[in-house]
Amino acid sequence: MRAFTYERAKDIDAAVAAAQQPGARFIAGGTNLLDLMKVEVEKPAHLIDVSRLPLKDIADAADGGLTIGAMVTNTDLAADKRVMERYPMLTRAIVNGASAQLRNQASTGGNLLQRTRCPYFYDVSKPCNKRQPNSGCSALQGINRMNAVLGGSDACIAVHPSDMAVAMMALDARIETKGGSKKGRTIPIAELYRQPEGSPERDTNLEPGELITSVTLPPAPAGKQSYRKVRDRASYAFALVSVAAILDIDDERKVRSARLALGGVGTMPWRAREAEQGMAGAIASEKTFATAGTVAVDGAQGHGGNDFKIPLARRTIARAFTDLSAKA
């Protein structure tokens, strides 16, 4: 690990001010950043510990939603009674990710900002455009079983690894920040993340020194929710494909509205809006949901090792909505 200096921020303003110095990074739970520092993928010169900032509350928002402090642990968020009742897909997504120890330590803001687990990103002896811009992408021609089939470019096919963020993507979460040139702003989660295109070193549209302070979930949309994750092991494994689904159907079994977000297949948590629109107004049937699966991966591109993810995503989507319609 490279040497760094460390400070514990006394309040949000102090944290944001300290972040102006070159090479400064915020650290909260540290489960991903410290891991990456050990292998010298991350080399911050200065760490600002934000884990004690008073951002640990989950509060009802004025519009009936829920505002989650950025330092709320993954465990506490998953176990919150309001989340379990109103946003069960979020609890499911969280408890299906990582291990209990990691969820106890990891923060909400940190989970959103965790970096890819592409093996070439971790291996400093190999080219990787995300780690070292313009060095090349080893995954395109290499071992790419876990890599993305949606949103990739010639520069990068790294998957965004979060489960939590996939559920938040389906729930239209809003990210609140402090610092940066705008001194704080609200960002829809779909605009927090960016596709790699030519600059995969940037995972998000946050500015340097911008601190996530909270995440607000709008009131839960009508309908049943689920989070279905397919992985190599029954527990403690990243997704091959995960599906966050919300389905609302009327008395005549017509789809009033549907939402669909995917994990494990995209370079960012992936919202499948065309598939959602295609389901609206259709009869809730296996055929409708199979079509939704096909539409959702339209344009997906395999790279050999990860080709299987395309049919797997299609089928997992169909299964998730079929199961939801049986409950509705």
Nearest approach in angstroms of CB 235 to another protein is: 4
SS (H, E, C) 93-126: HHHCCCCHHHHHHCEHHHHHHCCCCCHHHHCCCC
By CB under 8 A, the residues from 110 to 149 that bind another protein are: none
**One symbol per residue from 23 to 62: x for binding another protein (CB under 8 A), - otherwise; what is it?**
----x-xxx--xx--x--------x-x-x-----------
Strand partners of residue 230: 241
Given a contact cutoff of 8 angstroms between Cβ atoms, the answer to whether 228 and 276 are in contact is no
Q: For residue 248, is it left (φ>0), alpha (ψ between -120 and 50) or beta?
A: beta
Q: Toward another protein, which CB reaches closer, 91 or 144?
A: 91
Within 10 A of 142 (CB to CB), how many other CB atoms are there?
17
**One symbol per residue from 209 to 228: x for binding another protein (CB under 8 A), - otherwise; what is it?**
-----------------x-x
Nearest approach in angstroms of CB 303 to another protein is: 26
Which one of residues 78, 137, 166, 167 is an interface residue with another protein (CB under 8 A)?
78
In this structure, are strands 46-49 and 5-8 parallel, antiparallel, or unpaired?
A: parallel
Which one of residues 26, 48, 70, 96 is an interface residue with another protein (CB under 8 A)?
96
Q: Considering only 9-17, 101-109, 190-198, 290-298, which stretch makes contact with another protein by CB under 8 A?
A: 101-109
Q: Toward another protein, which CB reaches closer, 30 or 311?
A: 30
- State the first-to-last Cα distance of the chain, in angstroms, to the nearest integer: 52
322 binds another protein (CB under 8 A): no
Tokens read off for 274: 């065309």
Question: What three-state secondary structure class fits 260?
Answer: strand
Tokens read off for 286: 């296996």
By CB under 8 A, the residues from 225 to 244 that bind another protein are: 226, 228, 234-236
Which one of residues 104, 199, 204, 322 is an interface residue with another protein (CB under 8 A)?
104
Q: Which positions ≥6 away from 35 have C-beta within 8 Å?
A: none
Within 10 A of 254 (CB to CB), how many other CB atoms are there?
15
Nearest approach in angstroms of CB 5 to another protein is: 7
Contact set with another protein (CB under 8 A): 1, 3-6, 8, 27, 29-31, 34-35, 38, 47, 49, 51, 75, 78-79, 84, 88, 91-92, 95-96, 98-102, 104-105, 226, 228, 234-236, 323
